[in-house]
Structure 1
């Protein structure tokens, strides 16, 4: 009887662990399904909007040039194909450009740099730059929200090491978090997609997250939109932000990150 009682005691925690694991797997599956549904719904909506706004009225030759901006060459072809329409129907191109940007940024799909180029090429720096900065910030907030609602367990399961490292970095700068995040964004090699995805899971509130994106990515958005003014003359991605500018951004970012503890110690 005593042996059977001990076996039952050992089996109880194991059964509870198995039940908890099963519930967690169900939650993960639910979150994946929801993300897939939201992704394809938004993809369908953006594709339909672009068709109605842009493709519907373009000639076949011009319509064939309309593709996702996955390279500099495609961005140049898009700029050429959309220039006439921008002159005659700027509102339609503006809406299509914004929807595409938000979709790419919300789902961390590469290509926003080329959409920035198009913003500068089609709308000029005075309009294109603030629009792209707004889209970049809003799209990042959308990704923050998606990750907060449906990505927590996925991020912790598949990116646990990076998430733990991010948590350690953030915890060391809780008292100057917004400034620290701004300098991280300025640094040209920071993985912005991961910062957007992980921020809700390292206790960065949206009220600090959004300003860090808007301010920290201002140089990137300004320079890439400015490069769009000479879109047809660009030869490679390195022409968008040259080496000298990249070094300057690195110096500013590193100087800010290193200097923050010194300033905090001095004025504390």
Structure 2
């Protein structure tokens, strides 16, 4: 079914400003929550504080962040756990870049399988919150800021109505549509919430596992140097990472 963006703009015009302010209030509440976590943080050295408060852009910076947090996981496990979950949910709920970094360090902090469980739950709950925020408050903003993404997703799922769940599963594993657009646009194009949740939970598990394993391999290299097992893991992960682009290219032919 073709989506009429101009009609949707007219339908959402009346409450656009009110919803914008409500979203800003919710965003501000999340930022205030992060501020409270910072105030309750265990004592940090100046060097540790500098590592934690900067944005990690390189593998080395991500490694340093995981090493500092690992130290505090031993002495303040529940604080690190609560901060990790809150921050992940905050980023995912408001479609803010960064969850992939948290996924990379989660294995080092909590272990591979516990980390996968935590990340899977946080990613699913955060994506669901994003879905509901878009549905109830953000629809007017999404169709104005990202009309092409909404139209692209609508066109894609219109051709897959009979197998919508499996197609959403595919989109989570092979991101033909970016995950943040999928979260924001799904309620607009009529994807049912139950289908969205299940496809998110199971579809994000493989990429999350790859991120966690990559982070653990990098951490192992930082601690002990490049061992044969770490090298093997990185090679296998590199092969897995190449699979989605190959599938995307074959699908486009």
Place the TM-score, normalised by the shorter chain, in its bin.
Answer: 0.7 to 0.9
Q: What aligned pairs does 1:35-184 form with structure 2 within 5 A after superposition?
A: 35-52=23-40, 54=41, 56-67=42-53, 69-71=55-57, 72-184=59-171
C-alpha distance in 2 between matches for 1:172 and 1:57: 55
Displacement of 1:227 in angstroms is 1.5
Q: What aligned pairs does 1:195-214 form with structure 2 within 5 A after superposition?
A: 195-214=182-201
Look up the match of 2:15: 27
Q: Contact 1:182–1:212 (CA<8 Å) still a contact in 2? A: yes
CA displacement 1:133-181 (0-9 Å, x = unmatched): 1111111111101101111111222322332232122122222111110
**Aligned mate of 1:245, from 225, 236, 240:** 240
Look up the match of 1:265: none
Q: Contact 2:89–2:126 (CA<8 Å) still a contact in 1? A: yes
Higher Rg of the two aligned structures: 1
Displacement of 1:36 in angstroms is 1.1
Look up the match of 2:6: none
Q: Contact 2:210–2:237 (CA<8 Å) still a contact in 1? A: no
After TM superposition, the score normalised by the length of structure 1 is 0.77
- Cα 1:119–1:78, aligned 2, differ >3 Å: closer, same or farther? same
Higher relative contact order (CA 8 A, sep 6+): 2
Q: Which runs of 5+ in 1 are unaligned?
A: 1-19, 259-268
Q: What aligned pairs does 1:189-200 form with structure 2 within 5 A after superposition?
A: 190-200=177-187
C-alpha distance in 2 between matches for 1:68 and 1:34: 29
Displacement of 1:187 in angstroms is 0.5
Q: Which runs of 5+ in 2 are unaligned?
A: 1-8, 227-233
Length, aligned pairs only: 232
Moved more, 32-41 or 226-235: 226-235
C-alpha distance in 2 between matches for 1:138 and 1:241: 29
Root mean square deviation, CA, Å: 2.7
Displacement of 1:222 in angstroms is 0.4
Displacement of 1:75 in angstroms is 2.2
Displacement of 1:58 in angstroms is 2.2
CA displacement 1:228-262 (0-9 Å, x = unmatched): 21334379xxx69954212323456788x89xxxx
Look up the match of 2:230: none
Secondary structure of 2:187's aligned partner: helix
